[in-house]
């Protein structure tokens, strides 16, 4: 008497077999589609170092000319307060001081005098590839924002072609201003409060309050 043995398949084998049938196409095992990588988030001012934001993407010998309102100075000006604070705390390399001087078409010594930086200290930091002190970085970023403010103002006027905001700011700061009792705006650039005063003055110029 023949006894027929019925093989019992375990649930695990059944699942494996079913899965194999589903994933087999024309005798070949189909590969599961790889998950799509998430799109990278756009960089903000806070997520980039000042070296990249201002100097790392354009030549040191180049001039900062408004093209489409998206320059590095413009980015600093448009950055929200928390982003600008984070940018300052990340650190500003001392080497940015002479680079900024070149962009503004002024001397290294004059820029340090303008911002109230001790010449020998900054020179040492440049040589040792160190960052500016935080209070110095704050004033330096403030100057960058001021240039960006002028860029934004001229861009919004609709005629930015050929205008160099950094060089314009350097010249304008040295001119006596009636709104300041004929004092030069440059006299206020060595403190954050003074920079805020100068920024407010530029905003008033845009509104037509002062020429």
Which range, of 56-70, 125-139, 142-156, averages the lowest pLDDT?
Answer: 56-70
- Compute the average pLDDT of residues 28-51: 46
- Strand (E) or helix (H) holding 28: strand 28-29
Output the pLDDT for position 160: 75
How do strand 24-25 and strand 28-29 relate by DSSP bridges?
A: antiparallel
Continuous segment of H or E residues that includes residue 29 = strand 28-29
Q: Is residue 33 part of a domain?
A: no
Residue 65: per-residue pLDDT: 34
Average pLDDT over every residue of 90-94:
95
Give the angle subtended at the CA of 82 by the CAs of 169 and 205, to the nearest 5°. 30
pLDDT, greater one: 2 or 211: 2
The verdict on residue 7 lying in a domain is: no
Residue 168 maps to a domain: yes
Residue 108 structural domain:
45-207
Q: What is this structure's pTM?
A: 0.68
pLDDT tier, 50 (very low <50, low <70, confident <90, very high otherwise)? low
Model pLDDT, residue 208: 65
Q: What is the mean pLDDT of residues 172-181?
A: 96
Residue 14 lies in a domain: no
pLDDT at 158: 79
23 pLDDT more than 60: no
- Asked whether residue 10 is assigned to any structural domain, the reply reads no
Distance (Å, rounded) from C-alpha 11 to C-alpha 17? 10
Write down the H helix ranges in 31-164: 50, 72-78, 81-90, 96-103, 108-115, 119-127, 134-157
| Residue 98 domain-assigned (yes or no) | yes
- How many domains in the chain? 1
- Mean of per-residue pLDDT scores for the chain: 76
- Give whole-number Cα distances, 187 to 66, 73, 175, 194, 210, in Å: 27, 22, 10, 8, 19
For residue 189, pLDDT over 90 is answered with yes
Q: Lowest-confidence range among 23-32, 73-82, 158-167, 196-205?
A: 23-32
The answer to whether residue 201 sits within a structural domain is: yes
* 77: confidence class by pLDDT, cuts 50, 70, 90: very high
Length of the chain: 211
15-24, 28-37, 177-186 — most confident range: 177-186
């Amino acid at each position: 008497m023949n006894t027929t043995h019925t093989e019992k398949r375990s649930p695990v084998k059944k699942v494996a077999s079913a899965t194999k049938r589903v994933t087999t196409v024309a005798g070949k095992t189909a590969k599961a589609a790889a998950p799509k990588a998430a799109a990278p988030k756009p960089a903000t001012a806070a997520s980039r170092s000042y070296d990249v934001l201002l100097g790392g993407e354009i030549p040191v010998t180049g001039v900062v000319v408004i093209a489409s309102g998206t320059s590095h100075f413009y980015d600093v000006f448009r950055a929200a307060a928390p982003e600008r604070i984070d940018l300052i705390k990340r650190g500003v390399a001392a080497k940015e001081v002479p680079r900024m001087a070149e962009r503004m078409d002024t001397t290294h010594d004059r820029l340090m005098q303008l911002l109230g930086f001790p010449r020998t200290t900054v020179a040492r930091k440049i040589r040792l590839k160190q960052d500016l002190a935080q209070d110095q970085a704050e004033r330096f970023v403030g100057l960058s924002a001021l240039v960006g403010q002028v860029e934004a103002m001229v861009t919004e006027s609709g005629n930015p072609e050929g205008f160099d905001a950094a060089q314009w700011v350097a010249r304008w700061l040295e001119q006596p201003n009636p709104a300041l009792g004929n004092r030069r705006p440059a006299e206020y650039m060595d403190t954050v409060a003074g920079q805020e005063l100068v920024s407010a003055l530029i905003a008033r110029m845009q509104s037509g309050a002062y020429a």
